[in-house]
């Protein structure tokens, strides 16, 4: 997998926003990598994080509460604009410890949605497209502190 994709933790820049992929979830190994990245990035730069497992709800038990607490402490004080995760196969939004969290759903499963994300100079906009009803269902706007 590493040879083909480069790694399971990776980051890239889109203008001044830093995107960080945190594997299935930020376990101890991924958290060490994330902490190193955060130290290089600094606290002001806008960040978008994504991984697979849920932070809360009925499918969030794939990682332990102490791991979630460690992740929460690691990102405290950093400019995390949004967190995206999969796993649940239905679209939604919630706030975890003051952070905006989005679930994109899965077009392949009964909840036929995808999320469209736009990053502008002042905000991140997320909109959910409903395949079945051919309409935009929900939309959110998150301010970006720069």
Is residue 118 one of the residues assigned to a domain?
no
* Residue 5 backbone phi and psi in degrees, to 5: -105, -15
Q: Read off the pLDDT of each residue in 60-75 and give the average, rounded to a whole number.
A: 93
CATH number at residue 56: 3.30.750.180
* CB of 23 closer than 8 Å to CB of 51: yes
Question: 18-34, pLDDT tens digit by residue?
Answer: 999 999 999 999 999 99
Question: 108-134, pLDDT tens digit by residue?
Answer: 667 788 899 999 999 999 999 888 899
Which band of pLDDT confidence, cut at 50, 70 and 90, is reported for residue 52?
A: confident
pLDDT, position 118? 95
Instruction: Kindly report the average pLDDT of the chain as a whole number.
Output: 90
Is residue 112 one of the residues assigned to a domain?
no
pLDDT, position 2? 55
* CB of 113 closer than 8 Å to CB of 91: yes
Residue 89 lies in domain: 2-104
Is residue 47 one of the residues assigned to a domain?
yes
Is residue 117 one of the residues assigned to a domain?
no
Q: Model-level pTM?
A: 0.90
Is residue 129 one of the residues assigned to a domain?
no
Is residue 140 one of the residues assigned to a domain?
no
Is residue 114 one of the residues assigned to a domain?
no
The total number of structural domains that make up the chain: 1
């Amino acid at each position: 997998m590493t040879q083909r994709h480069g790694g399971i933790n990776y980051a890239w820049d889109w203008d001044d926003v830093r995107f960080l992929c945190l594997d299935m979830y930020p376990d101890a190994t991924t958290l060490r990598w994330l902490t190193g990245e955060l130290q290089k990035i600094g606290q002001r730069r806008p960040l978008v994080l994504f991984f697979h497992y849920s932070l809360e709800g009925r499918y969030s038990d794939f990682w332990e509460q102490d791991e979630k607490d460690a992740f929460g402490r690691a990102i405290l004080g950093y400019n995390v604009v949004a967190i995206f995760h999969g796993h649940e196969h239905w679209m939604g939004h919630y706030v975890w410890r003051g952070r905006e969290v989005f679930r994109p759903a899965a077009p392949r499963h009964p909840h036929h949605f995808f999320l469209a994300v736009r990053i502008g100079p002042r905000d991140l906009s997320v909109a959910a497209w409903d395949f079945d009803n051919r309409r935009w269902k929900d939309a959110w706007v998150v301010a970006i502190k720069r």
